[in-house]
Amino acid sequence: TQLLEQSPQFLSIQEGENLTVYCNSSSVFSSLQWYRQEPGEGPVLLVTVVTGGEVKKLKRLTFQFGDARKDSSLHITAAQPGDTGLYLCAGGHSGNTGKLIFGQGTTLQVKP
Amino acid sequence: DAGVIQSPRHEVTEMGQEVTLRCKPISGHNSLFWYRQTMMRGLELLIYFNNNVPIDDSGMPEDRFSAKMPNASFSTLKIQPSEPRDSAVYFCASSLRTAHGLHSPLHFGNGTRLTVT
């Protein structure tokens, strides 16, 4: 069974702090996606990384795919209360059925 | 674009009752996915369809669960009979699979929160 483990599971920080969320697996994925989910809503895609070592930036969010394509990280600079939510990583494979394996998620709370 | 539409948003039922969850994917999308989300297990893929045909139902937990996609714009997930352990948020998602086998990003609905007492 392929698993994606996210850490930490919960994170509560003050506005303005930096944070990093990790997503690790023993399996190789052809792509890795990060989603953000707010209460009462479905996950919304933030980014897809497909190349080992790839780094993508989305405003204050930086996503990195590990060189071996087994792990990924999400770094948020100067977190804001609007960043509060559940962050999910999801791995996919080529041959691409669209089937994704999701991590358990990291619940982030940013306090003003 | 109305996005993926799920109904009902909330469902409370008694153990043993039949439950039907509904999903309307984004128009033009040809792949549809049913996920279940719980605190303990996170997001789990139950079944997915491509061009209305079920491709992989290995995530369906038991025979009590069934899913259909009679046409490109509608799918149902049925639980009969329901049990308390089925309580979860059920999400439907859709995407576009091209002829080259590449998928557009998944678009999720807002889910159905099911409570079985």
**Which residues, in sequence order, are CB contacts of A15 under 8 Å at separation 6+?**
A79, A80, A81, A110, A111, A112
**Ranges in chain B, pLDDT < 50:** none
Cβ–Cβ gap B42/A105 under 8 Å: yes
**Predicted local confidence at residue B101, as pLDDT:** 67
B51 touching chain A per CB within 8 A = no
Burial class (CB in 10 A: 0-12, 13-18, 19+), A39: exposed
Report the chain A residue with the minimal C-alpha distance to residue B32: A98
Q: Which residues of B touch A95 (CB under 8 A)?
A: 101
Specify the 3-state DSSP secondary structure of B97.
Answer: strand
> Tell me: the pLDDT tens digits for A4-50?
999 999 999 999 999 999 999 998 998 899 999 999 999 999 999 98
**Predicted local confidence at residue A96, as pLDDT:** 54
**Predicted local confidence at residue A1, as pLDDT:** 56
Report the distance separating Cα A27 and Cα B49, nearest Å.
25
Are the C-beta atoms of residues A4 and A92 closer than 8 Å to each other? Answer: no
A97 touching chain B per CB within 8 A = yes
Best of B9, B26, B106 to disrupt the A interface by mutation (most A CBs within 10 Å)? B106
Tell me the range of A65-74, A97-106, B90-99 where mean pLDDT is highest. A65-74
**Predicted local confidence at residue A3, as pLDDT:** 82
